Amino acid sequence: MGAKSVWLIMAVMLALASSESNSDSFETSVEKKLIRSLMENYAKIGKIGRPVTSSSEVINVEFGLALSQILGLDETTQILTINSWTKYMWMDRLLTWEPKTHKGIKEVRIPPDRLWTPDIVLYNYADERLKEQRDVMVTVDYTGRVFWNPPAIFKSTCQIDITYFPFDVQSCYLKFASWTNDGTKLNLNTFDNEKEIDVTSYTDSHQWTLLAKPVRRFCTQSNANITRQTPNLTFFLLLKRNCAYYAYTLVLPCVLLSLLNLVIFWLPPTVPAKMILGMNIFVAFALLLRILARSTPTASINVPLLGYYYCLNMVLISLSTFFSIIVINLHFRCDKRNNLPDVVTKLVIKLARWVKVDCDLKLPPKKIKQNTPADDMLGMFPYGNGGISMQTNTLPQQKPKICPDVPAFASQTDTKPSSTEASPKQSTQQLESSLSEIRKALQNLVSKMDNKDKSAKKCKQWRMVALVLDRSFFWFYLCVIILSGLVMLIPRKELQTEEDVIAKHIKKLGNSHLECL
């Protein structure tokens, strides 16, 4: 064998020895050796079953929730979605060691699928995935204390009360408990005795304001005949809606349309817009009601007061349109109606005082028989039948009152006799016929003038009735709108304290769900 071959064999042997020494040094690192020892011991015993030395021993598990963000509260599906960090801590007696024998190592990190983990789940979940956590490493210290802090997105059911939408306050909760172990096997407590949800890393929501976040421990009795209770932790979230967006999109248009509807009562009856405007406002409210229906749950047991306010406005608009028809009818058909009844006159006079309208209507005086204007005018004739005396066949010698400056007819006939002069009887008949025609013409003229005055007066009275009714409807609509707006649209305080939320929750679940001592 040559020298080159010897040197080549020696180089290969040195390389193999170097690689083996490096491999042995890596495998024998203290942390790896400790983890391997713990896992081998755990694999021998098995991760199925509680890590206790006795079956009667109770394992204590601390659980907490650190809220990161409220992703949304869907009113239509009634689902609350949050982004959070869950905190678990329990004692595992199979994961203990002495730090002095392992170069002072006090904690290690182990995958959670290699260990026993508590089956704490969200009871009121609303997700198709039952597993909410994302896998992260478990931190174990030398005393056997296990800390697990996996992030999770929870979707829970939340009963929505939309009575005061969009000025509502919603109360939601997340109930966590062991799925299979009762209180005799697993004792669930709050993490580090926390009384509230941890919000140190919380990001404010643009839609909701977090008012309260209490945590309470309850015990649920699983069987009425057995005094075995299952502890659970309930995390409450009291959320107040930020109503600025809905105030501009739903409330403000409603108020403006309500005020615009008041204009209908101030439009003259002769304007066609008095009817058209009311119908357009009705359509606008129907559109707002449709938008509101899309923003609220369809199967909710409550109806928002804002929806009632929309419907009330639609009813009032329908009534205002009906009242406008009455006013227009009274305005344009007043000359075809009968005289204004005394009862209506009294009512209109009283209404006019209340609605501040200058009303010139007066109650008619007691009827007294008086001469008509035609009788007064015809009274200027001194004779009953056309001013001619029928008792004699001669004309009167005195001057008639109707023409005091004209000489008497008899004197003219005496001073100017004519051979062709008719007999006195024929002249009397001609004059009597002429005066009778004049009398009839005057009677017709005076009667027409009297009827015209009566018709104008009657028309004015009915138009005054229409005006007073229009103003009365205006004030009625204004009062109803203001009162209903104050009742329905003013934000109200409901469930503003933690104790109110918890008391309502306990009352809802009954005696089987009591707060643990």
Mean pLDDT, residues 94-118 taken together: 90
Asked if residue 444 is part of any domain, the answer here is: no
Question: DSSP string covering 404-422, please?
Answer: TTSPPHHHHHHHS--TTPP
* pLDDT of res. 384: 44
Q: How confident is the model at residue 410 (pLDDT cuts 50, 70, 90)?
A: very low
Range from 121-135, 208-222, 293-307 carrying the lowest mean pLDDT? 121-135
Domains contained in the chain, number:
2
**What are the contacts of 292-299 at 24+ separation with CB within 8 A?**
292/250, 295/75, 295/165, 295/246, 295/250, 296/75, 296/76, 296/162, 296/165, 297/75, 297/76, 297/77, 297/78, 297/160, 297/162, 298/76
Residues 225 and 251 in one domain: no
* pLDDT of res. 415: 45
Q: Which of 157, 147, 76 is nearest to 110 (CA)?
A: 147
220, 234 Cβ separation under 8 angstroms: no
Range from 288-302, 376-390, 417-431 carrying the lowest mean pLDDT? 376-390
Q: Which of 373, 386, 381 is nearest to 448 (CA)?
A: 373
Task: Please state, in angstroms and rounded to a whole number, the distance separating the CA atoms of residues 288 and 283.
Answer: 9
Instruction: Tell me the two tokens of residue 489.
Output: 């649209």
Residues above pLDDT 70, as percent of the chain: 70
- State the pairing for strand pair 215-223/120-122: unpaired
Mean pLDDT, residues 316-338 taken together: 73
112, 135 Cβ separation under 8 angstroms: yes
Digit-coded pLDDT (tens) for 358-369: 666 555 555 555
pLDDT higher than 80, residue 392? no
Residues 47 and 97 in one domain: yes
Q: How many helices (H) and strands (E) does the chain have?
A: 11, 13
Instruction: Tell me the two tokens of residue 40.
Output: 């081998």
Residues 263 and 327 in one domain: yes
pLDDT higher than 70, residue 129? no
328, 269 Cβ separation under 8 angstroms: yes
Mean pLDDT, residues 80-93 taken together: 93
* pLDDT of res. 404: 45
Asked if residue 45 is part of any domain, the answer here is: yes
Asked if residue 384 is part of any domain, the answer here is: no
Asked if residue 20 is part of any domain, the answer here is: no
Range from 93-102, 241-250, 389-398 carrying the lowest mean pLDDT? 389-398
* pLDDT of res. 417: 47
Residues 156 and 263 in one domain: no
User: Omega of the bond prior to 304 within 30 degrees of 0, cis?
Assistant: no
Burial state string for 474-499 with b = 16 or more CB within 10 A and e = fewer than 16: bebbeebbeebbeebbeeeeebeebe
Residues 196 and 152 in one domain: yes
Asked if residue 13 is part of any domain, the answer here is: no
Residues 232 and 312 in one domain: no
Q: List C-alpha distances in Å: 76 to 80, 160, 207, 292, 293.
A: 11, 9, 15, 11, 10
Residues 232 and 275 in one domain: no
Q: How confident is the model at residue 493 (pLDDT cuts 50, 70, 90)?
A: low
pLDDT higher than 90, residue 463? no
Mean pLDDT, residues 447-467 taken together: 72
* pLDDT of res. 24: 47
Residue 114 maps to which CATH number?
2.70.170.10
Residues 48 and 77 in one domain: yes
* pLDDT of res. 278: 84
Mean pLDDT, residues 498-508 taken together: 73
Specify the higher pLDDT residue, 66 or 223.
Answer: 66
What is the number of residues in the chain? 517
Q: Which of 205, 438, 431, 161 is nearest to 304 (CA)?
A: 161
State the residue range of the domain holding 354: 246-363+469-489
Q: Which of 325, 247, 185, 259 is nearest to 481 (CA)?
A: 259
Residues 73 and 106 in one domain: yes
Specify the higher pLDDT residue, 229 or 83.
Answer: 83
Q: What end-to-end distance do the CA atoms of the chain give, in Å?
A: 88
Digit-coded pLDDT (tens) for 158-199: 988 888 888 888 899 999 999 888 888 999 999 999 999 999
The chain-wide mean pLDDT, for the chain, equals 77
Residues 225 and 353 in one domain: no
3-state SS, 115-128, equals CCCCCEEECCECCC
Asked if residue 55 is part of any domain, the answer here is: yes
Residues 332 and 206 in one domain: no
pLDDT higher than 90, residue 46? no
Residues 294 and 230 in one domain: no
Asked if residue 323 is part of any domain, the answer here is: yes
Strand partners, 147: 89, 139
Residue 480 maps to which CATH number?
1.20.58
Mean pLDDT, residues 431-437 taken together: 80
Asked if residue 26 is part of any domain, the answer here is: no
**What are the contacts of 435-444 at 24+ separation with CB within 8 A?**
435/381, 435/386, 435/387, 435/388, 436/385, 436/386, 439/378, 439/381, 439/386, 442/374, 442/377, 442/378, 443/374, 443/378
Mean pLDDT, residues 451-473 taken together: 74
